[in-house]
Amino acid sequence: MPTVTIDPTGEVIHLDPNETILAGLYKAGYAYLIGCRRGGCAICKVDALDGEFDYERPVADTVITDTERTDGTCLSCRAVPSTDITIRLRGETLRLVNPFLASINAKARERAEAYAAAQHEKNNLSTTTKEM
Amino acid sequence: MGVMRMGYAHVRVTDMAEAKDHYANTLGLYETLSQDGRVYYKGWDEWDHHSVVLEEGGVGLVKFGFKVEKAEDIDDIEKKAQTFGVTVERMSQGENPEVSDGIRFTTPSDHVFEVYHGQTLIGTEVGSHNPEAFPRHLVGVGVPGLDHALITCDDANLMTKFLQDVFGYFVTEKVATSLDEDADTIASWMTNNNQIHQLAVLSGPQGKLHHFAFKLGDWSEVGRAADLFSMDDVPIDVGPTRHGITRGQTVYFFDPAGNRNEVFAGGYAAYPDRPTVVWTPDQLGKGIFYHARELNDRFTSVLT
């Protein structure tokens, strides 16, 4: 379950599996400048500072150039993170428009983290058992 | 009479299956042909073979087709385009399925225009003998036909002049840098008949599509279209609202590739002797979105 961290303001948003960054942020109650939401207009580009993502649907060359495919440019409406990711918006700050969704998202993230920690603990235990 | 109307808009889409769902099931266009990776559509009240062509791969405009009344009109437009300094090529019948011979050129705005005089006649969905008012089983919005488009270019003055000289268009409304006689044109809305605009040009990057629009009857149909867009999760850019410019009622929305579409109703009757309406940049927000009275973040920046 990847998270998106916003640089430099530090919001951390939990994404569901296979969710795009744009869909995840809006589902968590946040807003920023977006256009068509469908990979055509390029207005929702952000910079990925850390982490990996994939475009799981075709993106036109006119929207993302060859250079932009390797320089950290991230078309947020089509980008699905495969790891935790840190992004920086271009020339604006993330706006919280629905705080109720943000708190639901925060709880979902806590649950996911608790679950991951429990899994980690279990794996460690079983490794220890094997060693014995 | 020369150019009669914008006959077709040919656009690229990233995913044909999704695009077909949008244009057929949400907008309610009728598919008339699927061939060589392209899908052709018409609205229920259009009689020619197609008004929309979809092509898979990329986004944005491939070209527009403009239909003239007579074959001789082609020669006339060819000469005028050449006089303007544009290179014109001849296209033969069948280069576009079900479309006559004609000409093709790249405009000063870097858009490809085709001019043709014939398309295979299919007939409207209500026919022309004692017709009913509309087809009973329309799908989705059930748009009757293509209406107009807005394109961007770096010199709106030049493109306006081109359309005046070559297509015989006149300017119904424009946005100018000031009310002075010698003010620069920022945008213009043009036609050559009573339709308030067939094509509009807006200052911006060369060769880009702002939107292409389908006609609707009135406010209630525009509102119903917006309801259907919500039902089908179509991203709405703006509306339902009114444009100050043209007085038309509108919803801007996006197709699944991100091309902007519009449904447009109303607009007053245009006449060449009616004084051109002029808007100044300080009132542009009201001109575009009459109720919000300010441009949204996307109006000048989101193009395909």
CB contact under 8 Å between B301 and A35, yes or no, is: yes
| B153 and B280 inside one domain | yes
CATH code where residue B85 lies: 3.10.180.10
Residues of A in Cβ contact (< 8 Å) with B15 = 57-58
B79 alpha-carbon distance from chain centroid: 24
- Proportion of chain B above pLDDT 70, given as a percent: 100
* pLDDT of A126: 74
Assigned domain for B303 exists: no
Active site residue B211: yes
The DSSP code sequence of B47-115 is -BS-SEEEEESS-EEEEEEEEESSHHHHHHHHHHHHHHT--EEEE-TTSSTTB--EEEEE-TTS-EEEE
Q: Does the pLDDT of residue B205 top 90, yes or no?
A: yes
Has residue B218 been placed in a domain?
Answer: yes
CA distances from B19 to A41, B2, B50 (A): 16, 33, 16
Residue B82 shares a structural domain with residue B162: no
The confidence score (pLDDT) of residue A132 equals: 56
Would you tell me how many other CB atoms lie within 10 Å of the CB of residue A100? 8
My answer on whether B100 and B172 are in the same domain is: no
Q: By the CB < 8 Å criterion, does A23 face chain B?
A: no
**Residue B121 falls within a domain, yes or no?**
no
Backbone angles phi, psi at B108, to 5 degrees: -60, -20
The question of whether B262 is a catalytic residue gets the answer: yes
| Bridge partners of residue A110, in order along the sequence | none
* Residue B130 covered by a domain: no
Residues B180 and B87 reside in one and the same domain: no
Q: Across chain B, what does the average pLDDT equal?
A: 96
Out of A35, A43, A60, whose CB is closest to B14?
A60
Residues B297 and B278: their CA atoms lie apart, in Å, by 23
- Whether B50 is a known active-site residue: answer no
Q: In what order do the strands lie in the sheet with B208-216?
A: B236-242, B249-254, B260-265, B208-216, B145-153, B199-203, B185-191, B170-176, B277-279
* Cβ–Cβ below 8 Å for A60 and B15: no
Peptide bond into B281 cis (omega under 30): no
Instruction: State pLDDT tens for residues B176-189.
Output: 998 998 899 999 99
B111 is catalytic: no
Under DSSP, the state recorded for B119 is B
For residues B160 and B274, membership in a common domain is answered with yes
B99 with B151, same domain: the answer is no
Q: How many domains does chain B have?
A: 2
Domains defined along chain A, listed by start: 3-131 (3.10.20.30)
Q: Domain span at residue B231?
A: 145-288
Tell me the average pLDDT across B243-259: 97
E runs forming strands in B145-272: 145-153, 170-176, 185-191, 199-203, 208-216, 236-242, 249-254, 260-265
DSSP state of A107: H
pLDDT tens string A69-111: 999 999 999 999 999 999 999 999 999 998 889 989 999 999 9
- B95: CB partners within 8 A, 6+ apart: none
Contact present, B289 and B238 (Cβ < 8 Å): yes
CA distance, residue A42 to nearest chain B CA (Å): 8
Cβ distance A40 to B298 less than 8 Å, yes or no, reads: no
Q: A43 contacts in B (CB within 8 Å)?
A: 297-298, 301-302
Q: Give residue-wise pLDDT tens across range A37-70.
A: 999 999 999 999 999 999 989 899 899 999 999 9
Burial class from Cβ neighbours inside 10 Å (0-12, 13-18, 19+) for residue B92 reads: exposed
- In three-state form (DSSP H/G/I as H, E/B as E, the rest C), the secondary structure along A19-81 is CCHHHHHHHCCEECCCCCCCCCCCCCEEEEEECCEEECCCCCCCCCCCHHHCCCEEECCCEEE
Shortest alpha-carbon distance between residue B14 and chain A (Å) = 6
Domain assignment of residue B300, yes or no: no
Is the CB of residue B233 less than 8 Å away from at least one CB of chain A? Answer: no
List the structure tokens of B184. 């620069």
The answer to whether the Cβ–Cβ distance between A59 and B14 falls below 8 Å is yes
Give this prediction's pTM.
0.88
Q: Same domain, yes or no, for B22 and B106?
A: yes
Shortest Cα distance from A132 to chain B (angstroms)?
Answer: 56
**Region of poorest pLDDT, from B96-110, B227-241, B281-295:** B281-295
Q: Is residue B267 part of a domain?
A: yes
Are B108 and B226 in the same domain? no
**Rounded-to-integer distance, Cα B3 and Cα B67, Å:** 6
> Of B95, B116, B137, which residue constitutes the final position of a domain?
B116
Q: What is the pLDDT of residue A110?
A: 92
For residue B237, give Cα distances in angstroms to A35, A36, B44, B152: 7, 7, 25, 18
Residue B73 falls inside a structural domain: yes
Segment B271-298 mean pLDDT: 92
- Same domain for B40 and B163: no
Q: Are residues B54 and B154 in the same domain?
A: no
Mean pLDDT, residues B89-112: 97
Q: What SS3 state is found at B235?
A: coil
Task: Tell me: do B91 and B165 sit in the same domain.
Answer: no
Name the token pair of B207.
């060769």
CB pair distance less than 8 Å for B258 and A58:
no
- ipTM over 0.85 threshold: no
**The tokens of B211 are what?**
């939107």
| B154 and B269 share one domain | yes
Residue B126 included in any domain: no
Q: Which two tokens mark A4?
A: 């998106």
Torsional sign, CA B122, B123, B126, B130: negative
- Annotation marks residue B49 as catalytic: no
